[in-house]
Amino acid sequence: MTRPQLSAYIPAAVLALAWLPAAADSVDREALLGTAQALFAPLPEVVDNPDNPLTEDKVELGKMLYYDPRLSQSGLFSCNSCHNLATYGVDNLPTSLGHRWAVGPRNSPTVLNAALHANQFWDGRAADVEEQAEGPILNPIEMAIPNERVAVERIASMPDYVAWFERAFPDEDEPLTYANIANAIGAFERTLTTPDRFDDFLKGDKDALSNDELAGLEVFIDYGCAGCHSGPALGGNIMARFGVVEEYWEATREFLTIDQPTMPMDVGRFAVTQDPDDLYVFKTPSLRNITRTYPYFHDGSVWDLRDATQIMARVQLGEEIDEDDMDKLMAFYQALEGEIPEHALRLPVLPAATADTPRPEHR
Amino acid sequence: MTRPQLSAYIPAAVLALAWLPAAADSVDREALLGTAQALFAPLPEVVDNPDNPLTEDKVELGKMLYYDPRLSQSGLFSCNSCHNLATYGVDNLPTSLGHRWAVGPRNSPTVLNAALHANQFWDGRAADVEEQAEGPILNPIEMAIPNERVAVERIASMPDYVAWFERAFPDEDEPLTYANIANAIGAFERTLTTPDRFDDFLKGDKDALSNDELAGLEVFIDYGCAGCHSGPALGGNIMARFGVVEEYWEATREFLTIDQPTMPMDVGRFAVTQDPDDLYVFKTPSLRNITRTYPYFHDGSVWDLRDATQIMARVQLGEEIDEDDMDKLMAFYQALEGEIPEHALRLPVLPAATADTPRPEHR
C-alpha cells in the first residue's frame, strides 16, 4: 500500500464551506441541508466490496467468527471483546486488554461504519476491513494465535465451520483459508452501518433534526470540523497530523484524570512509513456514534466528549469553543447516535469443538 | 445454609431402578418411558422463585447486567465472559481466566438450566442463582469490583439503569441495591432452560427419540448413572463425593493431556463446611447440554466426553463401560443438547456511562 497523501484525502466537498451562509438565530434548514449534503452523505445499508461480495451465508459465518473466542489462543477473546456490539462496537477502555493481560498501545476504534473508512487502524496500515481482520488474531498482545496455519487448523477442526466456509465461498477450491476467515469477518463488518435521523435529514427530510441539533450542525461546520470529519462517516476518510496548531499531548495533559498514567508517545503513521511527514499522523476517526465510543483519541486518554471537542478545536483549528456553541455541538452529536443492526445483535450459537480442536492456552 | 445430607438428596425415583426391565435388543419404548418419567422430569420454561418473581422488565434488566462488562473492575469481564451463551453458557476452558489474568481454581459451570439446581457453585455454597450472582462480581480473581457499594455506584451512575431498576423493582423504596443487581441477573438466569426432544419424550411422545438414543438412555439407567444424575436437569440436585470406589485424581490422571498441569487438589465442599464428611464432595453437575460444556469436572481436567463418562463409571460405580454401550450413551447425550432461548441470544444495547461512572481499572 502506498502512503496516503493528506491532500488526496480532503474531499472536494470541503470547498463548499466557502459558500456557507452566515450563522443566524433561527436555522435556515434549506440552506443548511444543501451545505450538509455537500459535506456529508447518508450511510449506506451495507458497504459493498467487489472483491468480497456479500452473501447471507458469508455474513452469518463472519458473525460467528466475530463472536468466537476460539480465534484467540487463550479462548478468552473474540473480536467482540474489544469491539463489543453491546457497547457500540468498542470496549470503552482507554486501550484494550489482550493476551496475558497485555495493555495495548491504542484505543480500539468502533467497528460500526468502519467499513466506510478509506483505510483501517489508527495509522491506516490496512487497506480495508478484510485486511484489518487479519491483524488482531495473530497479534501476540491481542488474540495471540501463533500463526495463520494454527488459526485455520482450529477452525477446520470443526465440521460445522467447514460446511459454513463451503457455503460462504462456493466457487473456491479451498474455501477455508486464513484470508477467507478475514473475508467472512470483513463481510459481516460491511453490514454494520448505523443509519438514523441525521441520514433522514441528509436524504432531504428537513424536519428530521431538532433546532438544537441543526444549530449544532451549523456550529460544527462553522468551526471547520467538517474539514476533516466529512463524508458518510463524518471521518475515516483522511489521515491528518494530530496537533496542527499545538501538539496534542500538550493540550490533552490538562484533561487527563489524576489516576491515568501519562501516555507513552505514539508517533502515529510514522511507525508504518518512516516518513517524517507522517509523524503524529493518524486517521481522522468517524464521529458516528461518538457519544458512545468514549474514551477518545488514539490513546483513549480523554473521557469527556466536551473535553475532546475542545482539544480538537484548539490543536487542529486554533479555536476555543464557547459553552453555548459546545452545548449545540453536543446536541448535534446526539443525532449521530444510530441504531445497531438487529442481525448483528443476535448472538450466534457457535459450532462445537472436536477432539482435533487445539485447546486454549493461556500461558 | 445447613450442610446438605447426601442421603437427603437421593430422589425417591431412584427406587424405580429396581423395576427396570432387562435391556433387550429392541427398546421397549413404553416401559422405558415409564422408568424415565420416574427418574427425570421435563424442563420447565422458566424456574420460578416466589422471593424473586419474574417480570419482563426484571428479566431484561438482568440480561443487560449479565452482558455488561462494567460489572468488572477492568471493564473486560461480564457474566457472559465465563458463561458465554454463544457456547452453551460456558467458556470451554478448564478453569476461567479472571482479573489480571488470574486462573481460577474451578471450571465455570453452564448457566443453562442452573436455576434448577438445589444449590449453586461446585461446592454448593450458595442457595440459588440470586445468591450465586453476588459472588463473581466481587471475587478479586474474577470481576474484582472492590465492594458492593462500588458496584451499586457504578450502575447508579447511569440514568438508564436507574430507570430500569425502578421498573424492575416497582414496589421497593430503594430499587437499586447490590441484592437487586443479583436478583435481576438471577431472574434472567431463571429463563435459561433448554427444553428439547428428551423433554418431548418425557412428556409422553414415545417417538421423540431415536432407537440409538433410547438404547443410550437404557444404558444410562442400567449402569446406575441416574442414581445421581436425575431430575429435570439430570443432575444439580445432590452433593456427592467425587471418588467413591476410587479417588478421582488417580482415575483422571491417565486421561490428562501431556501439556496440562497436574491439577492442584481441591477438597470440594470441605472448604466450606470443614466437615471431614465433605472432603471431595461436589455438586453433581447437570448433564443437559453435556456435549457442549466440555472440558469436564470441577477442575475441567478432561476434555473428551467418553473419557469423562468412563472415569465416572469407574470412580463412582466401579464399572467399566464397553465401547458399544459408550456409543449408545453418546447418542443419548446428543439428545440432551437443547435450544438456547432466543431472547437470551439477543445482545442488549447497554446504557451509556456518564462522567460519574467509575472508570475501568486494570491494575
Mean pLDDT, chain B, integer: 91
Share of chain B above pLDDT 90, in %: 86
C-alpha cell at B170: 416497582
Q: Answer yes or no: are the C-beta atoms of B247 and B315 closer than 8 Å.
A: yes
pLDDT tens digits for range A147-175: 999 999 999 999 999 999 999 999 999 99
Checking if the pLDDT of A194 tops 70, the result is: yes
pLDDT tens digits for range A238-247: 999 999 998 8
Span B355-359, mean pLDDT?
Answer: 95
Q: In chain B, how many H helices and how many E strands?
A: 15, 4
* Domains contained in chain A, CATH given: 6-44+196-334 (1.10.760.10), 56-193 (1.10.760.10)
Nearest CA in chain B to A334: B352
Q: B22 pLDDT band (50/70/90 cuts)?
A: very low
Span B244-248, mean pLDDT?
Answer: 88
Checking if the pLDDT of B363 tops 90, the result is: no
Cβ–Cβ below 8 Å for B349 and A345: yes
Residues across chain A: 363
A247 is catalytic: no
Span B304-332, mean pLDDT?
Answer: 97
| CA dihedral of A195, A197, A200, A204, whole degrees rounded to 10 | -140
Q: Which residues of A touch B93 (CB under 8 A)?
A: 74-76, 360, 362
Measured in degrees and rounded to the nearest 5, phi and psi for residue A325 equal -65, -40
Mean pLDDT, chain A, integer: 91
Span A116-139, mean pLDDT?
Answer: 97
Could you tell me which of A327, A131, A100, A332 has the C-alpha nearest to residue A221?
A: A332
> What is B125-145 written as a DSSP string?
-BSSHHHHHHHHHH-TTTT--
Q: A255 pLDDT band (50/70/90 cuts)?
A: confident
Q: Which residues of A touch B362 (CB under 8 A)?
A: 93, 97, 101, 103
What's the pTM? 0.92
Spatial separation of the C-alpha atoms in residues A22 and A29, rounded to whole Å:
13
C-alpha cell at A111: 467497528
| A3 class by beta-carbon count within 10 Å (0-12 exposed, 13-18 middle, 19+ buried) | middle
Cβ–Cβ below 8 Å for B347 and A347: yes
Signed CA dihedral, A101, A103, A107, A113: sign only: negative
pLDDT of residue B257: 55
Burial B196-224 (b: 16+ CB within 10 A, else e): bbbbbbbeeeeebbeebbbbbbbbbbebb
Span A32-61, mean pLDDT?
Answer: 98
Q: Which residues of A touch B303 (CB under 8 A)?
A: 355, 359
**What's the number of CA atoms in the CB half-sphere (13 Å) around residue A285?**
26
Span A77-89, mean pLDDT?
Answer: 98
Cβ–Cβ below 8 Å for A93 and B76: yes
Checking if the pLDDT of A291 tops 60, the result is: yes
Which among A78, A101, A258, A294 is the top mutation candidate for probing chain B, defined by the most B β-carbons within 10 Å of its own β-carbon?
A101
pLDDT of residue A3: 36
Cβ–Cβ below 8 Å for A291 and B345: no
Query: Who has greater pLDDT, A328 or B11?
Result: A328
pLDDT tens digits for range B97-146: 999 999 999 999 999 999 999 999 999 999 999 999 999 999 999 999 99
Spatial separation of the C-alpha atoms in residues B301 and B253, rounded to whole Å:
9
pLDDT of residue B343: 98
- Which of A6-15, B91-100, B249-258, B288-297 has the weakest average pLDDT? A6-15
Burial B286-325 (b: 16+ CB within 10 A, else e): bbbbbebbbbbbbbbbbbbbbbbbbbbbbbbbebebeeeb
User: Is A159 strand, coil or helix?
Assistant: helix
Please tell me if residue B111 touches chain A, with a CB cutoff of 8 Å. no
List all residues 6 or more positions away from B169 whose beta carbon is below 8 Å from its beta carbon. B58, B175, B180, B183
Q: A10 pLDDT band (50/70/90 cuts)?
A: very low
Q: B248 pLDDT band (50/70/90 cuts)?
A: confident
C-alpha cell at A179: 484470508
C-alpha cell at B209: 427419540
Measured in degrees and rounded to the nearest 5, phi and psi for residue A40 equal -120, -175
List all residues 6 or more positions away from B251 whose beta carbon is below 8 Å from its beta carbon. B243, B311, B314, B315
Spatial separation of the C-alpha atoms in residues A83 and B202, rounded to whole Å:
43
pLDDT of residue A16: 44
Kind and range of the H or E run holding B272 = helix B270-273
Signed CA dihedral, B142, B147, B148, B154: sign only: negative
Q: Answer yes or no: are the C-beta atoms of A297 and A109 closer than 8 Å.
A: no
Q: In chain A, how many H helices and how many E strands?
A: 15, 4
Q: Answer yes or no: are the C-beta atoms of A358 and A73 closer than 8 Å.
A: no
Long-range contacts from A74-78, C-beta under 8 angstroms, 24+ separation:
A74/A99, A74/A100, A74/A144, A74/A360, A74/A361, A74/A362, A74/B93, A74/B97, A75/A360, A75/A362, A75/B91, A75/B92, A75/B93, A76/A360, A76/A362, A76/B81, A76/B91, A76/B93, A76/B97, A77/A142, A77/A143
Span A312-321, mean pLDDT?
Answer: 96
Spatial separation of the C-alpha atoms in residues B212 and B204, rounded to whole Å:
18
- Which of B23-37, B113-127, B311-325 has the weakest average pLDDT? B23-37
Residues across chain B: 363
Identify which of A86, A88, A303 has the shortest CB distance to residue B359: A303
Query: Who has greater pLDDT, A17 or A53?
Result: A53
User: Is A40 strand, coil or helix?
Assistant: strand
User: What is the DSSP secondary structure assignment for residue B270, as one 8-state letter?
Assistant: H
Checking if the pLDDT of B155 tops 80, the result is: yes
- Taking phi over 0 as left and psi of -120 to 50 as alpha, with beta for the rest, A10 belongs to beta
Spatial separation of the C-alpha atoms in residues B216 and B201, rounded to whole Å:
14
Could you tell me which of B122, B229, B357 has the C-alpha nearest to residue A303?
A: B357
Checking if the pLDDT of A260 tops 60, the result is: no
Checking if the pLDDT of A109 tops 90, the result is: yes
Measured in degrees and rounded to the nearest 5, phi and psi for residue B268 equal 70, -140
pLDDT of residue A17: 46
Spatial separation of the C-alpha atoms in residues A208 and A298, rounded to whole Å:
32
Q: Which residues of A touch B159 (CB under 8 A)?
A: none
Cβ–Cβ below 8 Å for A76 and B67: no
| CA dihedral of A23, A24, A26, A30, whole degrees rounded to 10 | -60
Residue position matching grid coordinates 495493555? A103
Measured in degrees and rounded to the nearest 5, phi and psi for residue A268 equal 70, -140
- Which of A61-65, B2-6, B23-27, B63-67 has the weakest average pLDDT? B2-6
pLDDT of residue B11: 45
Q: Answer yes or no: are the C-beta atoms of A100 and A172 closer than 8 Å.
A: no
Please tell me if residue A308 touches chain B, with a CB cutoff of 8 Å. no
Cβ–Cβ below 8 Å for A350 and B74: no
Q: How many CB atoms lie within 10 A of CB B138?
A: 18
Q: Answer yes or no: are the C-beta atoms of A195 and A69 closer than 8 Å.
A: no
ipTM confidence = 0.91
C-alpha cell at B60: 431484561
How close B60 comes to chain A (CA, Å)? 14
User: Is A97 strand, coil or helix?
Assistant: strand
- Which of A22-31, A174-183, A256-265 has the weakest average pLDDT? A256-265
Identify which of B76, B81, B103 has the shortest CB distance to residue A362: B103
CA B174, chain centre distance (Å): 31
**What's the number of CA atoms in the CB half-sphere (13 Å) around residue A203?**
10
Span A76-98, mean pLDDT?
Answer: 97
Q: How many CB atoms lie within 10 A of CB B356?
A: 11
